[in-house]
């Protein structure tokens, strides 16, 4: 049996206001060919299907069109929600999707047994069990008695994740003894590399989950949430497939991929590269260097190439800022678009206010960065510092969710 693992589609994503719907459409067309070529029986999507909890009608249409394209190849589709997804929205058509052999689990069900999905052969005999665990939210994992300090809450989250996976393993062992099992998860594992496109949901590395706590029952753990493809050190094969298309300029050099397992040969996946449909180019230099580089940025890709341009100079110079802005405004080469630009003066402080003076775009300054700049000016011990930061992150997440709901 062949199983394909992907994650972090982020349908509806915009890269500095540039719509990436064409990128996703080309990926889905390629994925259909891949499934057909390799005769895939099961497609696993480990969370963050959408980029926003309340996606636009265009993003929802693209999602359903993608599922219907994939369904033509008669493979079982198992899809879970991520931290960017609305559990209610994904779960709404669950029963209808199940009739089409698509299993959608947006949020953790009340009964953990509902995450257990057997994969049978033509005779109806289970050959594999999939544990489709979505992103586990605080409300799924913590109780009011888990402690009040930052450290207590983080430990409760880790313990809750571990307990959920171990309980799911016990259900599989009881209901399907001797049958190989694969688990899906959407979380932040310790020791991995992140990119700029991952939002700070947990607070630093203190919230990272030790993958050894998954246990040794599952034959493979298919993870989502981290966009850089990588293996996680664990007792069993544990992998992030990564996002299939670049979602930030920090991912421009990543080799995007999907992972293919052949259970007849084992549970170490084969990495299948996803074609690059669009170039993301980061161009840096002095004003004179940028003038030369932007005259001939290279060969365009299948889709319009997107550019991030950074002016780097030793000393702050208002005249060069003006000339830089004129260079950006006057750039007009078919097949290329500058979507982000900023300045970097080496001999100037890099505080938030200074970045703003240097013509830093407002979208480059994250609320968390501004808040960190503020609290560093006040003396407090490390535990209080973490408590304040934890409270700010919770408030920021609520504001972002409210904004997404209002869209």
Q: Judge if 158 and 242 occupy the same domain.
A: yes
pTM of structure: 0.82
The domain boundary, picked from 242, 273, 304, lies at 273
CATH at 72: 3.60.21.10
Domain extent at residue 178: 2-273
Q: Judge if 91 and 151 occupy the same domain.
A: yes
| HSE (side-chain half, CA atoms, 13 Å) at 90 | 30
Q: Judge if 201 and 350 occupy the same domain.
A: no
Q: What is the per-residue pLDDT across 84-109, written as a single tens digit (0 to 9) for each? A: 999 999 999 989 998 888 999 999 99
Q: Judge if 173 and 236 occupy the same domain.
A: yes
Q: Judge if 49 and 156 occupy the same domain.
A: yes
| HSE (side-chain half, CA atoms, 13 Å) at 62 | 24
Residue 387 lies in a domain: no
The domain boundary, picked from 234, 250, 273, lies at 273
Residue 158 lies in a domain: yes
Specify the pLDDT at position 135. 95
Place of tokens 């393993």: 169
Q: Judge if 239 and 340 occupy the same domain.
A: no
Exposed, middle or buried: residue 204 (CB in 10 Å: 0-12, 13-18, 19+)?
A: exposed
The domain boundary, picked from 365, 383, 400, lies at 365
Rg of the chain in Å (alpha carbons): 23
Place of tokens 């409300």: 139
Q: What is the per-residue pLDDT across 308-361, written as a single tens digit (0 to 9) for each? A: 999 999 998 889 999 999 999 999 999 999 999 999 988 765 555 554 544 455
Specify the pLDDT at position 49. 98
Residue 394 lies in a domain: no
Q: Judge if 33 and 71 occupy the same domain.
A: yes
Residue 124 lies in a domain: yes
Measured distance CA(248)–CA(278) in Å, rounded: 12
Residue 220 lies in a domain: yes
Q: Judge if 203 and 237 occupy the same domain.
A: yes
Q: Judge if 186 and 67 occupy the same domain.
A: yes
How many other C-beta atoms lie within 10 A of the C-beta of residue 205? 11
**How many domains, the chain?**
2
Residue 404 lies in a domain: no
Q: Judge if 171 and 291 occupy the same domain.
A: no
Q: What is the per-residue pLDDT across 279-289, written as a single tens digit (0 to 9) for each? A: 999 999 999 99
Residue 393 lies in a domain: no
Instruction: Report which of 251, 255, 225, 256 is spatially closest to residue 238, judged by C-alpha positions.
Output: 225
Provide the percentage of residues in the chain whose pLDDT is more than 70. Answer: 85
Q: Judge if 316 and 265 occupy the same domain.
A: no
Which band of pLDDT confidence, cut at 50, 70 and 90, is reported for residue 379? low
Which band of pLDDT confidence, cut at 50, 70 and 90, is reported for residue 365? low
Taking the CA atoms of residue 106, residue 109, residue 113 and residue 114 in that order, the dihedral angle to the nearest 10 degrees is -50
Residue 385 lies in a domain: no
Specify the pLDDT at position 155. 83
Q: What is the per-residue pLDDT across 219-273, written as a single tens digit (0 to 9) for each? A: 999 999 999 999 999 999 999 999 999 999 999 999 999 999 999 999 999 999 9
Q: Judge if 222 and 338 occupy the same domain.
A: no
């Amino acid at each position: 049996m062949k199983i394909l693992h992907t994650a972090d589609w982020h349908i509806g994503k915009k890269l500095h206001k540039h719509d990436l719907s064409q990128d996703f459409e080309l990926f889905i067309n390629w994925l259909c060919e891949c499934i057909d070529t390799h005769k895939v029986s099961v497609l696993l999507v480990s969370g963050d299907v959408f980029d926003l909890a309340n996606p636009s009608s265009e993003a929802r249409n693209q999602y359903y069109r993608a599922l219907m394209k994939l369904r033509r190849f008669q493979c079982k589709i198992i899809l879970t929600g991520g931290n960017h997804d609305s559990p209610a929205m994904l779960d709404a058509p669950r029963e209808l999707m199940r009739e089409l052999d698509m299993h959608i689990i947006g949020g953790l069900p009340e009964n953990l047994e509902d995450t257990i999905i057997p994969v049978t052969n033509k005779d109806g005999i289970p050959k594999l069990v999939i544990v489709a665990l979505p992103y586990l939210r605080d409300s799924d994992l913590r109780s009011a008695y888990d402690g009040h300090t930052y450290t207590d809450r983080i430990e409760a989250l880790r313990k809750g994740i571990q307990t959920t996976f171990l309980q799911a393993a016990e259900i599989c062992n009881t209901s399907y003894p001797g049958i190989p099992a694969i688990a899906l998860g959407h979380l932040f594992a310790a020791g991995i590399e992140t990119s700029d496109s991952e939002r700070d949901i947990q607070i630093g590395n203190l919230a990272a989950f030790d993958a050894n706590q998954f246990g040794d029952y599952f034959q493979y753990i298919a993870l989502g949430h981290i966009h850089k493809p990588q293996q996680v050190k664990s007792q069993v094969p544990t992998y992030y497939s990564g996002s299939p298309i670049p979602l930030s300029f920090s991912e421009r050099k990543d080799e995007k991929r999907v992972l293919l397992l052949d259970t007849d040969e084992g549970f170490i996946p084969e990495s299948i590269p996803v074609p690059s449909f669009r170039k993301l180019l980061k161009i840096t230099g002095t004003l004179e260097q940028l003038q030369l580089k932007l005259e001939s940025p290279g060969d365009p890709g299948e889709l319009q190439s997107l550019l991030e341009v950074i002016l780097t100079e030793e000393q702050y110079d208002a005249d060069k800022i003006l000339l830089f802005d004129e260079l950006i405004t006057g750039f007009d080469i078919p097949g290329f678009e500058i979507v982000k630009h900023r300045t970097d003066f080496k001999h100037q402080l890099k505080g938030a206010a200074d970045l703003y003076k240097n013509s830093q775009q407002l979208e480059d300054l994250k609320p968390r960065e501004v808040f960190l700049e503020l609290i560093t000016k006040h003396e407090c011990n490390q535990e209080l510092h973490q408590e304040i930061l934890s409270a700010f992150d919770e408030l920021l997440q609520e504001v972002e969710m409210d904004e997404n709901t209002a869209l």
